[in-house]
Amino acid sequence: MFALVDCNNFYASCQRVFEPHLIGKPVVILSNNDGCVIARSNEAKVLGVPMGAPAFEYKKLFEDNNVFVFSSNYALYGDMSSRVMNILSTFSPDIEVYSIDEAFLKFQGFEKFDLQEYGITIQRSVTKGTGIPISVGFAPTKALAKVANKIAKKFPEKTKSVYIIDTEEKRIKALKWTKIEDVWGIGRKHAKRLQNSKVTNAFQFTQLTDEWVRREMSVVGLRLKHELQGKPTLNLEVAKDKKMIATTRSFDKMHTKIEDISERVATFTASCAEKLRRQNSHCNMVMVFVHTNGFRKDQPQYSRNIVIKTDFPTNSTIELNHYAQIGLNQIFKEGYHYKKAGVIVMGLTPNNETQLSLFSASNPKHQPLMSVVDKLNKSIGQTKVRFASQSMGRQWKMKQEKLSASFTTKLKDVIQIHL
């Protein structure tokens, strides 16, 4: 049996833990730059705030309905997430942290257990330990556990937020209830294609022939079909090193000069390099991209990316920025209003497995320098130590007008209780 544990409206719930007056009120969380809505409480969903809604379009609705609006606070969410995962890992040795707010747990040898009771115990422990409400779905496969979880979340009173698919009858009933576009692994494109073929729920999907599914949706679709039929094809995944690392941002306003973009690219590269070193990896490719604002149909559009191969594997900020700037210079075109840029490092290898180059090598002085920079930034606060290519004078600030305190990760933000 697998269980999928999912935190309810995770970001909104994190805010509520420290501001309990928000319970029962509509709450939304905005993306970086306070751009779009990326999380909503149930009350906000009822008001008709869709996922991904541009914040400026809904400003009036927020004001009219006293919606509490927050900028995203990843320090808080990340810390709360690890607390939830720590508690979950006490219930099964086999756990896959699937995302910031979800985890799969595997239960082998639990046949004699009353899973409904066990699920409720899990749920109470997490809520008691963190204040975050969760839903639990049990089923013989991961895809069915996702379905079970959705039912638990949709009918909290009836299910006590725990639902188990453990009979053929329950499986078929659950699949008939699940709309095809809500199935895990079926995105917009496939949902549309399936609907055109008169497949509107998950049960109908499982009735398609293997050949059709294989042809139209590749082995990924076929695996999903088998999973929904109750035949396990997916197991828990072990945490692996990343295969690429990206830092990309939209700008608060549009930029036309290469000096401005160049500074941003230097900062993004520094961030990628720092993440690389944290993962104990080197990379041998750097991709740089720039975009104009696709929403401004009145302006000329331009977007390009370029991949630069490094001469040797490296994780030095200085060396990587050298390549990133070469890339930027090749793709930057005058006369456009740029809204977004990013740096992605690829071709990652662990530090101890890097391929040496015959003719050139990473500057040996960089390693100790980088480790000092990382240490300093860790002890005195992120990005306090910067490279000259990252402008010191100018303040690039993300729009974060509604940022809450970092209640669990900054000493000065810890809530004080005076007795």
Q: How far is the CB of 321 from DNA (least distance, A)?
A: 17
Q: What are phi and psi of 169, to 5 degrees?
A: -60, -45
In the Cβ-directed half-sphere of 345, how many Cα atoms lie within 13 Å? Answer: 33
Beta bridge partners, 163, equal: 137
250 binds DNA (CB under 7 A): yes
Nearer to DNA, 165 or 222 (CB): 222
Sign of CA dihedral 207, 209, 213, 219: positive
Q: Which is nearer to DNA, 98 or 212 (CB)?
A: 98
Under rule CB under 7 A, residue 396 binds DNA: no
Q: Rounded to the nearest whole angstrom, what is the least distance from the CB of residue 186 to DNA in the complex?
A: 5
**Other beta carbons within 10 Å of 415:** 9
Q: Which residues pair with 308 in a beta bridge?
A: 286
Counting Cβ atoms within 10 Å, is residue 65 exposed (0-12), middle (13-18) or buried (19+)? middle
- The torsion angle over the Cα atoms of residues 193, 195, 201 and 202, rounded to 10 degrees, is -10
Query: CA-CA distance, 220 to 223, in Å (whole number)?
Result: 5
Regarding 234 and contact with DNA (CB under 7 A), the answer is no
Residues 180-199 that bind DNA (CB under 7 A): 183-191
Contact between 139 and DNA by CB under 7 A: the answer reads no
* Residue 307 in tokens: 């991949």
Q: Are the beta carbons of 104 and 3 closer than 8 angstroms? A: yes
Whichever of 174 and 183 has its CB closer to DNA, that residue is 183
Residue 35 binding DNA, by CB under 7 A: yes
Q: Which of residues 277-306 bind DNA (CB under 7 A)?
A: 293, 295-296
**Smallest gap, in angstroms, from Cβ of residue 135 to DNA?**
13
CB-nearer residue toward DNA: 121 or 260: 260
Of the two residues 116 and 398, which places its CB atom closer to DNA in the complex?
Answer: 398
Closest approach, Cβ 103 to DNA, in A, equals 11
Task: Tell which one of 43, 102, 274, 319 touches DNA (CB under 7 A).
Answer: 102
Q: What is the nearest approach in angstroms of DNA to the Cβ of residue 278?
A: 10
Distances (CA, A) of 410 to 10, 399, 407, 414: 20, 20, 6, 7
Count of residues in contact with DNA, rule CB under 7 A: 47
Query: What is the Cα–Cα distance from 394 to 399, expressed in whole angstroms?
Result: 15
Residues at the site binding DNA, with contacts judged by CB under 7 A: 31-33, 35-36, 38, 52, 54, 56, 98-102, 146, 183-191, 218-220, 242-250, 253-254, 275, 293, 295-296, 307, 339-340, 342, 344
